[in-house]
């Protein structure tokens, strides 16, 4: 992915940058995922989550020749299309819901495993039937490289674009705190080790760039 290299460019003074290139994902293949694919990625300094969502909406409506994108909070999308609350439901309730939908590993699945499966089975296929939809405020546990909301710390300032049931883009109000990222990497690596997956480097040129000073920005990747 071009993400970490482009963020190093932001740290070096870039203000509004984009790239169209090839991206690779190990172990991801299926009807909607290829191990190698074309990606468009952009970053704009000074933008928060709302500004990032607006730019993505403008891009999508122009490219797809539709009205502006609708917006929907993650929790509301779950309640409407999966009939379960992703924040208040217990792990046992989520595992049961996922198992009923055919998740073979639901018995030992983590909370996020269940949420991702339920979202893909019940929520995502219903989004964007007539015009794009941007879902935002994902759970803090799924923040990746997004900031947590100052007003709602249980939510990440992460957003995704859906059209006709398919996720087309993923965006963040970018995390700029290197210490917080390193703590997230430790937690993520515990989970990756549990799944026998390759761990994330906890020291890198990207971390050095964050320590040097990554400016406030929003970024989006379109696959």
* pLDDT, tens only, 67-103: 999 999 999 999 999 999 999 999 999 999 999 999 9
Residue 145 sits at the vertex; the CA angle it makes with 139 and 147, to the nearest 5 degrees, is 65
Q: For the CA atoms of 202, 205, 206, 209, what is the dihedral angle to 10 degrees?
A: 120
**Residue count (the chain):** 223
Query: What Rg do the C-alpha atoms of the chain give, in angstroms?
Result: 17
Q: What is the pLDDT of residue 31?
A: 83
Mean pLDDT across the stretch 26-40?
85
pTM across the whole model: 0.91
Q: What is the pLDDT of residue 220?
A: 98
Q: What is the pLDDT of residue 113?
A: 93
How far apart (Å, rounded) are the C-alpha atoms in residues 160 and 172? 9
Higher pLDDT, 156 or 105: 156
């Amino acid at each position: 992915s071009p993400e970490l290299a482009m963020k190093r460019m932001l740290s070096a003074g870039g203000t509004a940058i984009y790239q169209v290139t090839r991206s690779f994902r190990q172990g991801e293949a299926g009807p909607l995922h290829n191990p190698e694919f074309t990606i468009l990625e952009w970053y704009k300094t000074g933008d928060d989550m709302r500004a990032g969502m607006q730019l993505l909406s403008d891009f999508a409506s122009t490219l797809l020749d539709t009205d502006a994108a609708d917006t929907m909070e993650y929790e509301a999308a779950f309640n409407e299309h999966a009939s379960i609350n992703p924040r208040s439901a217990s792990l046992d309730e989520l595992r049961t819901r996922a198992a009923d939908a055919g998740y073979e590993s639901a018995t030992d699945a983590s909370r996020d495993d269940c949420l991702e499966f339920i979202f893909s089975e019940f929520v995502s296929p219903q989004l964007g039937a007539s015009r794009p939809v941007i879902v935002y405020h994902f759970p803090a546990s799924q923040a990746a490289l997004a900031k947590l909301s100052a007003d709602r710390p249980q939510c990440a300032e992460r957003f995704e674009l859906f059209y006709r049931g398919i996720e087309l883009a993923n965006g963040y109000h970018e995390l700029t705190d290197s210490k917080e990222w390193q703590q997230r990497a430790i937690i993520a690596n515990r989970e990756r080790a549990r799944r026998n997956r390759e761990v994330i480097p906890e020291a890198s040129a990207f971390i050095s760039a964050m320590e040097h000073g990554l400016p406030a920005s929003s970024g989006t990747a379109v696959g």
